[in-house]
């Protein structure tokens, strides 16, 4: 069971806006920044969002992150077929003194 | 461009020790801005942080693995290593090494391609 809670699946049609939630606690999301990773089958995860809402170079601005209290969200606007992947949230946890991940959300583009 | 490459046996027997090395190229492992981490992913499951190490040797470990885990760094060879003892089938996973930025919320910005380690007799 993951420390951070994500819905196991999400879906949308091309062009739609989709959001993926990530719920934590005061020891992780409530006191530290949230990072998001995108993973395609058979490949390593890729950093998608860091510091709650910052995009690394090369990440389209269709991807955005937000955080409020002990929860965070990843939003994907103008959904495209190539966005079909697994998405993971992560944060530092002060109680565990380590990094924690969400269980991952499998995004399907219908 | 930083590159990380995992190496080690793809098959380990139960109760034995899993040993992996991560070679870092394109950047110095002695940089004060980064930790160097290990993350694993059992087949069909999510990501699990194993532990991280600083160039000085300071380590942080997942409490659930700490008693079986040794992470070390060799700055002269620009690599870091993982040893996980007393392995069981539950340790079967793809193991990734990654660079962890200490100044941006400890995110992992560069990853190795991953190596599958199966625990089986």
Q: Is pLDDT at B11 greater than 80 in this prediction?
A: yes
CB proximity B46 to A under 8 Å? yes
The count of other CB atoms within 10 Å of the CB of residue B45 is 13
Predicted confidence (pLDDT) per residue in B18-75, tens digit: 999 999 999 999 999 999 999 999 999 999 999 999 999 999 999 999 999 999 999 9
Encoded tokens for A14: 């091309």
Of A6-15, A57-66, B21-30, B98-107, the poorest mean pLDDT is in B98-107
Strand partners, A91: A34, A100
Rg, chain B, Cα only: 14
Please choose, from the candidates A61, A97, A76, the residue with its C-alpha nearest in 3D space to the C-alpha of residue A21. A76
CB proximity B63 to A under 8 Å? yes
Confirm if A90 and A37 have CB atoms less than 8 A apart.
yes
Q: Is pLDDT at B104 greater than 80 in this prediction?
A: no
Strands A71-76 and A63-68: antiparallel
Confirm if A91 and B105 have CB atoms less than 8 A apart.
yes
Please choose, from the candidates B95, B110, B83, the residue with its C-alpha nearest in 3D space to the C-alpha of residue B40. B95
What are the backbone angles phi and psi of residue A85, rounded to the nearest 5°? Answer: -170, 180
Would you place residue A1 in the very low, low, confident or very high pLDDT band (cuts 50, 70, 90)? confident
d(CA A110, CA A84): 9
B105 to A47: CB separation less than 8 angstroms, yes or no: no
- Which of B48, B63, B114 is opposite residue A101, by nearest beta carbon? B48
Encoded tokens for B44: 């069909």
Encoded tokens for A23: 């719920």
């Amino acid at each position: 069971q993951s420390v951070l809670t994500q819905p196991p699946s999400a879906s949308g049609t091309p062009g739609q806006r989709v959001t993926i939630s990530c719920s934590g606690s005061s020891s992780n999301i409530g006191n530290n920044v949230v990072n998001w990773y995108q993973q395609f089958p058979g490949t390593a995860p890729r950093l998608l969002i860091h510091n709650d809402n910052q995009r690394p170079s090369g990440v389209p601005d269709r991807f955005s992150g937000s955080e409020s209290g002990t929860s965070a969200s990843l939003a994907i606007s103008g959904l495209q077929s190539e966005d079909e992947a697994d998405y993971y949230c992560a944060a530092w946890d002060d109680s565990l003194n380590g990094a924690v991940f969400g269980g991952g959300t499998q995004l399907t583009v219908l | 461009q930083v590159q990380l490459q995992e190496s080690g046996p793809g098959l380990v027997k139960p109760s034995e020790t899993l040993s992996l090395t991560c070679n870092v190229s394109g950047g110095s492992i002695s940089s004060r801005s980064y930790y160097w981490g290990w993350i694993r992913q059992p087949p069909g499951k999510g990501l699990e942080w194993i532990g991280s190490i600083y160039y000085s040797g300071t380590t942080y470990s997942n409490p659930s693995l700490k008693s079986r885990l040794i992470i070390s760094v060799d700055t002269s060879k620009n690599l870091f290593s993982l040893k996980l003892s007393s392995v069981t089938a539950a340790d079967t996973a793809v193991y990734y090494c990654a660079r962890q930025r200490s100044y941006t919320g400890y995110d992992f910005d560069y990853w190795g391609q991953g190596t599958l380690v199966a625990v089986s007799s």
